């Protein structure tokens, strides 16, 4: 026999074996690989797991025409994808996982608390990706379909958990009576106010920052004199645009509160209008017209907005 013929026999046999194996994988329930990809970006909004949970896992199902049909077949990978979070603490921030090598098809995504990587260790549902909720893309009960095909091989989705609580900088629920995070600040505190077309009352002569100390806002005492009064280098009435800063130096460890006022003098007694209290729980602007939040542990550099 010629050498070429000897070479072709095992080569052809190998091709037949691969073709048969591929067919067996499809018929045997092992998923077909492709070039599709789904990126899931999940924002945890102060999320707390069950005490026994050790992981938060994402799983994909594939199937049509309904979610029920896909669910009945089980997740495409029973080990799913794990979010790199600490389940012993309140979870805040964005975390991501990626499902790769997906064949064309219709997929469904869910996130769960588990005691292991496998889907059979699920103990609670975090949520399903659901595009009908155009705010947080979340459902507690069922997902909506994600399509992978030749024209849509890369799918990136964003989702948010429900808000379990408002968290302080220690990662605890601020409204939790068992919260043992004592908000203590020491050293220097720097406050920067971003003014946006801000104009004072005609009678105002200054814009002043003041700082209080105490276990609660109701019982806090104003720090008087040079240690507690801080003047912004602005000349009323404005309008003022841009940032301006003040600082309080050498503070001993304590629970502090900060407010900014229009005044006719340096003392707090000359205040005629509130610009705003610094409140870290007021989104973006950190400006409250009602009351300040306690400066949380490590919260020494403050930013606040005033104006339009």
Can you give the CATH number for the domain in which 110 is found? Answer: 2.60.40
In the structure encoding, which two tokens stand for residue 212, read together?
């209080």
On whether both 72 and 155 belong to a single domain, the answer is yes
35 Ramachandran zone, left/alpha/beta (phi>0; psi -120 to 50):
alpha
281 and 202: one domain?
yes
Q: Is residue 154 domain-shared with residue 189, that is, in the same domain?
A: no
Residue 207 located in a structural domain: yes
Tell me: do 156 and 232 sit in the same domain: no
Is the pTM higher than 0.85? The answer reads: no
Residue 129, C-beta contacts closer than 8 angstroms, at least 6 positions apart? 40, 108, 109, 110, 137, 138, 139, 143, 144, 146, 157, 159
Output the pLDDT for position 17. 40
Residue 101 lies in a domain: yes
Q: Specify whether 130 is located in the same domain as 198.
A: no
Q: Is 134 found in the same domain as 82? A: yes
Could you say which residues of the chain have pLDDT below 70? 1-31, 163-182
- pLDDT tens for 163-176 read 665 555 455 555 44
What's the domain count of the chain? Answer: 2
Domain annotation covers residue 2: no
Does residue 147 sit in the same domain as residue 218?
Answer: no
Assess whether 151 and 46 both reside in one domain.
Answer: yes
Q: Residue 270 is encoded by which pair of tokens?
A: 């000359």
Alpha-carbon distance 164 to 147, whole Å?
31
User: Would you call 262 helix, strand, or coil by DSSP?
Assistant: strand
Q: Are residues 193 and 139 in the same domain?
A: no
Shared domain check, 103 and 204? no
């Amino acid at each position: 026999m010629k050498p070429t013929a000897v070479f072709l026999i095992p080569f052809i046999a190998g091709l037949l074996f691969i073709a048969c194996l591929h067919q067996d994988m499809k018929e045997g329930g092992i998923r077909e690989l492709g070039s599709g990809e789904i990126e899931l970006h999940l924002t945890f909004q102060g999320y707390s797991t069950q005490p026994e949970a050790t992981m938060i896992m994402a799983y994909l199902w594939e199937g049509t025409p309904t979610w029920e049909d896909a669910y009945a077949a089980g997740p495409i990978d029973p080990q799913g994808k794990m979010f790199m979070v600490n389940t012993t603490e309140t979870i805040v921030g964005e975390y991501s996982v990626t499902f790769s090598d997906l064949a064309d098809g219709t997929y469904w995504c869910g996130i769960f608390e588990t005691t292991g990587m496998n889907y059979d260790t699920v103990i609670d549902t975090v949520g399903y990706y659901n595009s009908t909720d155009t705010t947080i893309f979340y459902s507690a009960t069922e997902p909506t379909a994600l399509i992978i095909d030749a024209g849509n091989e890369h799918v990136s989705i964003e989702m948010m958990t429900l808000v379990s609580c408002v968290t302080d900088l220690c990662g605890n629920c601020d409204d939790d009576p068992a919260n043992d995070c004592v908000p203590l600040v020491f050293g220097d505190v720097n406050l920067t106010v971003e003014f946006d077309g801000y104009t004072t009352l005609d009678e105002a002569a200054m814009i002043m920052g003041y700082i209080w100390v105490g276990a609660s806002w109701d019982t806090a005492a104003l720090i008087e004199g040079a240690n507690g009064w801080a003047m912004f280098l602005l000349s009323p009435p404005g309008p003022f645009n841009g940032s301006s800063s003040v600082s309080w130096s050498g503070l001993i460890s304590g629970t502090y509160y900060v407010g900014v006022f229009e005044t006719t003098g340096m003392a707090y007694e000359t205040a005629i209008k509130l610009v705003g209290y610094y409140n870290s729980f007021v989104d973006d602007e950190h400006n409250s017209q009602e009351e300040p939040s306690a400066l949380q542990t490590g919260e020494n550099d403050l930013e606040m907005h005033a104006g339009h």
